[in-house]
Amino acid sequence: MIFKVKDSVNQFVNIYNNDVRLYIKREDLLHEFVSGNKFRKLKYNLKEARKKGFQTLLTFGGAYSNHIAAVASAGKLMSFKTIGVIRGEELYDKIERNPTLMFAKECGMKFKFVSRQTYRLKTAETFLKELKEEFGTFYFIPEGGTNALAVKGCEEILRETDFDFDYICCAVGTGGTISGIINCSKPSQKVLGFPALKGSFLHKDICKFVTQSNWGLITDFHFGGYAKINLDLVEFINGFKKDYGIPLDPIYTGKMLFGVMDLISKGFFPEGSKILAIHTGGLQGVKGMNDYLKKKNLPQIEI
């Protein structure tokens, strides 16, 4: 058994140019702490860990990682011990200043802070062996949660009632979420991913998991790279919350929807298109981003 979650809902947003209709699948409503794609990615990994008798989960992440927060919370809910290998040795004595790490700590997660150079070894067998020598046996979940079991979970995002949409849009981090969506979509649908990172490596990563070719990546809306943000994006996110009552995170869904709305306004989608955009959660990171925005004398993001 895995912990109980709510059902997601499709929320109609508005009609824009050429009678284009946009709906938001509110995956952020699944669970207060293990929301959106993080629940989908963890679902079958947690079942596998329990089935094989593991008592500890170990994973990797950055200082404000949605994945770290979700693993810590899920571990607490299912009585797993959790270990987070965190990028950045300088964070060792700054946990109390970081809302994500404080939340994870309160959920019982133990941390190992490593240099950025060491962090690059996160998939190396030698490094994982060293971690097992230090912490004992654990169930390993990759950074961002993406593996075959995560993709399986993300294949449950779309329901039968979603198959009449012409386009499915989602943010892309490590590629697991969009891979699951591609696999469960209809060949007649077009799946569009909006990477939050710069670079072309994601296409290759996604190809490892997908069984269809009805997809593409829109690479123009990363705002400079992962966790990069500017005033235009902040104002868009706050305007979206005011107009439609839907809070957005600035790392993933906010950028994706900024892109979708921009493409709609420019006539990218054919007349009469019906679009489903996936809200993948991530709202826990807003508090940390607001701390950064405050230092830059920029407006706060409303949630």
pLDDT in tens, 146-194: 999 999 999 999 999 999 999 999 999 999 999 999 999 999 999 999 9
Q: What CA–CA distance (Å, rounded) separates 67 from 64?
A: 9
| Strand-pair category, 21-26 with 10-15 | antiparallel
Tokens of 209: 């998991």
**What gap in Å lies between CA 191 and CA 186, rounded to an integer?**
10
Looking at residue 68, what DSSP letter applies?
H
Mean pLDDT on 201-216: 94
Band of residue 46 on the pLDDT scale cut at 50, 70, 90: very high
The answer to whether 52 touches 139, Cβ cutoff 8 Å, is yes
DSSP 194: E
Report the distance separating Cα 167 and Cα 274, nearest Å.
7
Average pLDDT, the chain: 95
**Model pLDDT, residue 1:** 61
Q: Does the pLDDT value for residue 289 go beyond 80?
A: yes
pLDDT for position 261: 96
Helix (H, G, I), strand (E, B) or coil at 7: coil
The three-state secondary structure class of 197 is: coil
pLDDT score at 262: 96
Confidence of residue 2 (pLDDT cuts 50, 70, 90): confident
Segment 26-31 shows an average pLDDT of 96
Q: Give per-residue pLDDT as tens, 116-128.
A: 999 999 999 999 9
